[in-house]
Amino acid sequence: MIDFIKLIEETEQLLSNSSSLKIVEGLFINKYGSEEKAKEAFKAILEQSKKNDNLQELIFSEFGLDKIIRVLNSFKEASNLKETYENLQNEKLKLIKEETPKSKEELLNNLELLSNAAHQVDISETSKDNLINYINENVIFNLANTRKELGYPDPRPFNYWLKFFFQGKYNDKINEGNSKNSGKLTLFEYLEVVSAFLLSYDESKIDYSNPEKMLKRFELQKKTQKQVLKYITNNNYSYLKEKLEDLYISDVYRNKFGDQPFDTSKRKIPYSLITVIEKHIKEEYLN
């Protein structure tokens, strides 16, 4: 999905030629308390690295960045968001097995050191924008694969919901095989689409801290509305149908979608809309 290490190497000039060096310098100074002690520590690592030509590896190890890199590789080795969550979950389980109270404290300290060092580097807004645009334009997704990832093997129901969420914004993308660029999504477009389907009505951004929770949502996407909502209405499907038909008067629905109607006969409903329906039924009719 995103190779952060390669990205840093390729785009260093977008930030500034010395940004990486400043971050490394800041890490050593923050850890050892003074520039003089930082130089001594760095010289020792530099001398040690001459044996195996592994300076980067030793610096990563010095600040516990090897674990952070392992987490970042969860993004690199994935082709989509679902695989990213699967990789993050696997890496999380590995880290939990390795973790001790001391190692956890060291990791938190190293993250704080990294954050402090990064904030000491002055990066212009233009450089930040250039980097963001570079990432967005160079990480490309495919609409057909995104559709399948979200649990829609058939494009027709998926396209209905795509138009429901975005009106005509993605009309030129829907004809997936009709032209070279018809099904392509930039990173931001991809995240916008999966967010529309996967985020709860009260969430505004994708959460990477709880991969297990998000993976459950991908599984829910494969089910029909009746399978997901039946527990709320005690399998009373006629009652569920009734509440779907008057959903448009719900405050939570109107706050999210305004006066826009949707086809209540659809068998598959995105997780995001399921959360709206669930709140509508629970709070306005079951209390």
Q: Could you tell me if residue 62 is inside a domain?
A: yes
Q: Could you tell me if residue 162 is inside a domain?
A: yes
The sign of the dihedral angle between the CA atoms of 256, 261, 265, 267 is: negative
Least trusted range by pLDDT, from 11-20, 78-87, 104-113 = 11-20
Quick one: pLDDT at residue 245? 83
Q: Verify that 111 and 143 share a domain, yes or no.
A: no
Domain with 146 in it: 139-198
DSSP single-letter state for residue 184: E
Kindly indicate the confidence band of residue 12, based on its pLDDT and cuts at 50, 70 and 90.
very low
Considering only residues 61 and 22, tell me which one the structure prediction assigns the higher pLDDT. 61
Among 90, 123, 156, the domain boundary falls at 123
12 CB neighbour count, 10 Å cutoff: 15
pTM over 0.85: no
Q: Verify that 60 and 104 share a domain, yes or no.
A: yes
Quick one: pLDDT at residue 119? 54
Q: Verify that 119 and 149 share a domain, yes or no.
A: no
Q: Using CA atoms, how far apart are residues 64 and 137, in angstroms rounded to an integer?
A: 31
Q: Verify that 119 and 187 share a domain, yes or no.
A: no
Whole-number percent of the chain with pLDDT over 70:
72
Quick one: pLDDT at residue 87? 84
Angstrom distances, CA of residue 202 to CA of 195, 199, 259, 276? 12, 8, 18, 9
Q: Verify that 281 and 176 share a domain, yes or no.
A: no
Q: Could you tell me if residue 217 is inside a domain?
A: no
Q: Verify that 106 and 17 share a domain, yes or no.
A: yes
Residues in the chain: 287
Q: Could you tell me if residue 54 is inside a domain?
A: yes
Q: Could you tell me if residue 206 is inside a domain?
A: no
Q: Using CA atoms, how far apart are residues 222 and 152, in angstroms rounded to an integer?
A: 7
Q: Could you tell me if residue 157 is inside a domain?
A: yes
With b for 16 or more beta-carbon neighbours within 10 A and e for fewer, the 199-208 pattern comes to bebeeeeeee
Q: Verify that 159 and 258 share a domain, yes or no.
A: no
Q: Verify that 12 and 83 share a domain, yes or no.
A: yes
DSSP single-letter state for residue 260: -
Contact 46, 55 (CB under 8 A): yes
- C-alpha 141 chain-centroid distance: 14
Using alpha carbons, select from 92, 76, 81 the residue that is nearest to residue 198. 81
Q: Could you tell me if residue 213 is inside a domain?
A: no
Q: Could you tell me if residue 98 is inside a domain?
A: yes
Q: Verify that 85 and 57 share a domain, yes or no.
A: yes
- C-alpha 7 chain-centroid distance: 17
Q: Is 281 exposed, middle or buried (0-12, 13-18, 19+ CB in 10 A)?
A: buried
pLDDT tens column, 134-181: 666 767 888 999 999 999 999 999 999 999 999 989 988 876 555 555
Q: Verify that 144 and 169 share a domain, yes or no.
A: yes
Q: Verify that 188 and 236 share a domain, yes or no.
A: no
Token pair of 145, please?
Answer: 């694969």
Among 181, 198, 215, the domain boundary falls at 198
Q: How many domains does the chain have?
A: 3
Q: Verify that 117 and 45 share a domain, yes or no.
A: yes
